[in-house]
């Protein structure tokens, strides 16, 4: 009898995951068909890419569960399953990031000390300005996820592995991601233009501060700075901003993992008793951390492998729809990406999980395209057929499908998390600019 019940439960679990993957594929197709939509807001421009449509569509589908037929509902159980799939999907992106790092090592080595050390400002600045404000506004552990970085894709992967996306920290980093994606470029452009007009900082130092790890935000900030310079200086501004953004997107992952996140946790522990305000629901939210951290364990080895394969297939589909790439030509590159993830996860488990899988995966991928690898050129060619953005869309599809269960918590955070996000973005720009200014003068 017990065996029959177990088989039935397993069958229901498998059917739920199959249904979830099908819904995710539909969302991805719709998002890619919508494509990129750009519109102007004041002096800046907001660009909504397919990955954002995937996130919003997934969230809308989950929120509509009570209004849809039973066969089309993404119920709460499926939303937790989507959160479980999110971490394997994130690791594919981390592997692609590592592959980009390895091939960029010679270029990064040519950068000056100012360009290297300003990285501390990018990640410490978010905490110095954002965390105290978050605590004063009554935000609890969500403040860690929202202020340890500017909340781009690598930050989602790091928080997802350490705490789970169902945790307060997970909600914080996701809220920061959403706010930064929709409003970040406009905000940073206005801030950078205003700071530049004051004439306090060297324009090259301001350019380095612009490399916050987001292409759109970097372009918006650097453009606002360059617009106030001579043509010659404007070219230097764009060059240094791009180099800074490259370092933040690549090496910055390790700063985030080993410096800014531990610093944010420590600062929260020290400052929360002093600055924190009590929220009635805080104890219940704290209690969810343990449950959330175990979410990805439900997949098991087979489920995790299947998540990698399906997420990879969705990425190739997204690349085909958006850029006309040939999926069959991209398969060898995808195999290398998945291979790097598998080796990284195995190393993570072999070392007792003392070093996060995110770090192992990125190190393995980086080694494959670094000068020490004799096949680096071939690996770069094969993996280069898969666009960087294509691997983000599937993971944000699953993130969107998992959001609805956390909407009550997001509502409680409300406008406060938007203010904190802006403060964190200001902190990363100003912190890096100050350090770059010190080294240049």
Tokens of 66: 């009570």
Provide DSSP, 37-82: EEEEETTEEEEE-HHHHHHHHHHHHHHTTTTS-GGG---HHHHHHH
Mapping DSSP to helix (H, G, I), strand (E, B) and coil, where does residue 149 land? coil
Of all residues in the chain, what percent carry a pLDDT higher than 90? 23
| The pLDDT value given to residue 286 | 44
Please state, in angstroms and rounded to a whole number, the distance separating the CA atoms of residues 293 and 291. Answer: 6
**Confidence category of residue 112, pLDDT binned at 50, 70, 90:** low
pLDDT at 2 over 70: no
Per residue in 376-407, pLDDT tens?
999 999 998 998 778 888 988 998 898 888 77
Per residue in 126-182, pLDDT tens?
898 999 999 999 898 999 998 998 877 778 878 888 888 778 898 888 888 777 766
Please state, in angstroms and rounded to a whole number, the distance separating the CA atoms of residues 309 and 295. Answer: 19
Please state, in angstroms and rounded to a whole number, the distance separating the CA atoms of residues 110 and 63. Answer: 49
pLDDT at 259 over 90: no
∠ at Cα 77 (75, 82), nearest 5°? 95
pLDDT at 34 over 60: yes
**Confidence category of residue 250, pLDDT binned at 50, 70, 90:** low
| The pLDDT value given to residue 136 | 92
Tokens of 21: 């993957």
Average pLDDT score over residue span 105-112: 65
């Amino acid at each position: 009898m017990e065996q029959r019940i177990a088989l039935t439960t397993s069958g229901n679990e498998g059917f739920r995951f199959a249904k979830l993957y099908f819904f995710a594929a539909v969302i991805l197709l719709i998002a890619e068909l919508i494509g990129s939509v750009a519109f102007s807001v004041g002096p800046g421009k907001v660009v909504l890419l397919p990955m954002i449509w995937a996130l919003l569509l997934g969230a809308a589908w989950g929120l509509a569960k009570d209004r849809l037929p039973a066969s089309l509902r993404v119920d709460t159980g499926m939303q937790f399953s989507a959160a479980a799939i999110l971490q394997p999907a994130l690791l594919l992106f981390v592997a692609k990031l590592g592959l980009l790092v390895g091939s960029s090592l010679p270029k990064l080595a040519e950068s000056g000390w100012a360009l290297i050390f300003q990285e501390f400002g990018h990640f410490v600045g978010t905490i110095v300005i954002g965390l105290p404000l978050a605590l004063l506004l009554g935000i609890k552990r969500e403040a860690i996820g929202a202020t340890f970085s500017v909340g781009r894709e690598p930050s989602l992967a790091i928080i997802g592995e350490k705490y789970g996306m169902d945790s307060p920290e997970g909600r914080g980093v996701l809220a920061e991601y959403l706010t930064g994606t929709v409003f970040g470029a406009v905000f940073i452009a206005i801030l950078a233009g205003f700071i530049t007009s004051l004439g306090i900082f060297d324009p090259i130092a301001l350019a380095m501060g612009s490399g916050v790890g987001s292409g759109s935000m970097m372009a918006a900030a650097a453009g606002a700075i360059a617009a106030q310079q001579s043509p010659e200086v404007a070219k230097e501004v764009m060059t240094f901003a791009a180099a800074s953004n490259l370092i933040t997107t690549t090496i910055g992952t390790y700063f985030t993992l080993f410096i800014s996140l531990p610093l944010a946790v420590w600062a929260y522990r020290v400052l929360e008793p002093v600055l924190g305000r009590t929220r009635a629901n805080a104890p219940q939210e704290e209690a969810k951390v343990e449950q959330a951290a175990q979410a990805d364990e439900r997949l098991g080895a087979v489920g995790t492998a299947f998540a990698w394969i399906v997420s990879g297939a969705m990425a190739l589909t997204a690349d085909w729809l958006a850029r006309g790439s040939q999926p069959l030509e991209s398969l060898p590159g995808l195999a290398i990406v998945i291979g790097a993830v598998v080796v990284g996860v195995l190393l993570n488990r072999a070392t007792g999980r003392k070093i996060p899988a995110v770090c192992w995966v990125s190190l393995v991928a980086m080694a494959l395209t670094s000068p020490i690898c004799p096949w680096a050129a071939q690996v770069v060619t094969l993996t280069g057929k898969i666009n960087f953005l294509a691997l983000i869309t599937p993971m944000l599809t699953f993130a969107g499908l998992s959001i609805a269960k956390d909407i009550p918590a997001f509502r409680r955070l409300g406008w406060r998390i938007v203010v904190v996000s802006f403060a964190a973005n200001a902190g990363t720009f100003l912190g890096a600019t100050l350090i770059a200014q010190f080294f240049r003068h």
